[in-house]
Chain A
Amino acid sequence: GENVEQHPSTLSVQEGDSAVIKCTYSDSASNYFPWYKQELGKGPQLIIDIRSNVGEKKDQRIAVTLNKTAKHFSLHITETQPEDSAVYFCAASYPYGGATNKLIFGTGTLLAVQP
């Protein structure tokens, strides 16, 4: 079935430390894996994504890794700052017909960066 598991549900780190959030997906047809950051009262904001033909992607302090064999992908945030505090969602695409798909989301991780 269509399922994305996300861990941990909450994560507290000290400013400057690294944070890692892990997700597992179920459908081997998934080929696109975005990560969203959601701040209180706002919509999910795309922060980084990775496609199935790539194993790792980095954008400044944020990196994402993908292991298609194990159906795992992870978000790594280095040198965390208080403004990184938010809920982070992983998602996996489930294609259906042509080039369109839908995103199935993980349950979210509340990241708290302590100053």
Chain B
Amino acid sequence: DSGVTQTPKHLITATGQRVTLRCSPRSGDLSVYWYQQSLDQGLQFLIHYYNGEERAKGNILERFSAQQFPDLHSELNLSSLELGDSALYFCASSSPRVAGNTIYFGEGSWLTVV
């Protein structure tokens, strides 16, 4: 158990809908990362939040947004869903260290868009 908690574990929704994925980082971790894993794209970096502030964006669609709350949990909002958004969405957390972070992943939220 990495200590990173994600909900829901599985979600099935229709095209055009909106969903929210939730992440609780490890105790004491200030950074939260979101990654998307699909069969043909591997693990793709979406966005990084540090202590409530957005720090970096990756290949995140405009239909997607995220935020990190004062209690450090984070939510990833996916809207106007398309079939191609079906994927595993991972949250990861870390604490900053001088020579680089150790990043721990949750078990993921499996999204199926039908």
Contacts and interface: CB of A to CB of B under 8 A. Distances in A.
Contacts of B45: 102-105
B98 interface: yes
Nearest to A52: B99
B42 A32 contact: no
Interface in A15-62: 31-32, 34, 36, 42-46, 49, 51-53
Q: Interface extent on A, as a size class?
A: 20 to 34
A43 B106 contact: yes
A43 B96 contact: no
A72 B90 CA distance: 26
Interface residues of B, number: 27
Interface of A: 31-32, 34, 36, 42-46, 49, 51-53, 89, 93, 95-108
A89 B44 CA distance: 12
Contacts of B31: 100
Nearest to A51: B99
Contact of A100 (B43, B48, B99): B48
A82 to B, nearest CB: 23
Given A44-B105, A49-B102, A100-B31, A105 B56 contact: no
